Amino acid sequence: MYWTNIGLIIVAGLNIGLALLVWLRNPKNKINITFAITVFLVGTWTLGMALFREAQTVQTAWIWTWVQNGSGAMLVIPFFFLSIYFPYQSKILKSWQVLLIGISIVVMILVTIIPGIWVKEIILRPSNNTYLLGRLGITYFNIHFYFYVILAFYTLFQKYKISQGFIRTQLTYMMTAAAIIGIFASFFAALAPLFFLQLGPYWLGPYFSLPMIILLVRFIYKKD
């Protein structure tokens, strides 16, 4: 197994383990739930990436492509909900807003799993497998991803402007930590593939989850 993929599996394990620990601390708390789901999807995105790169058959590679791309696309949804609940609930979504979110999830799943839209062809070279990108799919993924990321940061910043003391500190570190993966990881995993229509060093993205996770845990749960 290639060292890059071993590192990805370790990072995936840390994320999935952390998601479980956070959820177990308070399984009914909306902050814990949305945070845990977000981190869990970061973990499955990373794991899917590692196992896709190691896949020995085209069929297995397709499955892990769906896992990595599906998780990477979906993780922004619980992050958006986290921005609503953390550190206090700022709004209640209307029924039509929830419906639109549901539709966006369905469309993104279809873009992910239907061959030719996002992934055009698997190129099998185990330990360093790759695939050819469809411009329509990668473009839609970027629109989907950054729409929710921008909306989440906007929601957090609105709270930041009216907050003081410890809550303001929490929001500062929340936005800073999330920006690490939101900017650097998405550059390698989303923007660069869109611009160049090839994956490139997209595997660098998950490594930026490590400082994000450390900072978020330290400041989100400081009071606990």
CATH number at residue 135: 1.20.1070.10
**For residue 36, what are the CA distances in angstroms to 28, 75, 160?**
12, 10, 22
When divided into structural domains, the chain yields a total of 1
From the list 212, 223, 217, the residue with the least C-alpha distance to 175 is 212
Yes or no: say if 159 and 169 are a contact pair by the CB < 8 Å rule. Answer: no
Reported as a pLDDT band with limits 50, 70 and 90, residue 24 is very high
Q: Kindly report which listed range (64-73, 133-142, 206-215) carries the lowest average pLDDT score.
A: 206-215
Instruction: For residue 52, give the H/E element and its range.
Output: helix 30-54
Look at residue 113 in the predicted model and tell me its pLDDT. Answer: 96
Domain assignment of residue 214, given as a range? 3-220
From the list 119, 146, 138, 107, the residue with the least C-alpha distance to 52 is 119
Pair of tokens at residue 191? 């923007």
Instruction: Spell 94-111 as b/e; 16+ CB within 10 A means b.
Output: eeeeeeeeeebeeebeeb
Look at residue 211 in the predicted model and tell me its pLDDT. Answer: 83
Kindly tell me if the per-residue pLDDT of 224 is higher than 50: no
Pair of tokens at residue 172? 């500062």
130: which strand partners?
123
Q: What is the DSSP letter of 158?
A: H
Give dist(CA 108, CA 97) in Å, integer: 17
Q: Are strands 130-133 and 119-123 parallel, antiparallel or unpaired?
A: antiparallel
Selected residue with higher pLDDT from 166 and 78: 78
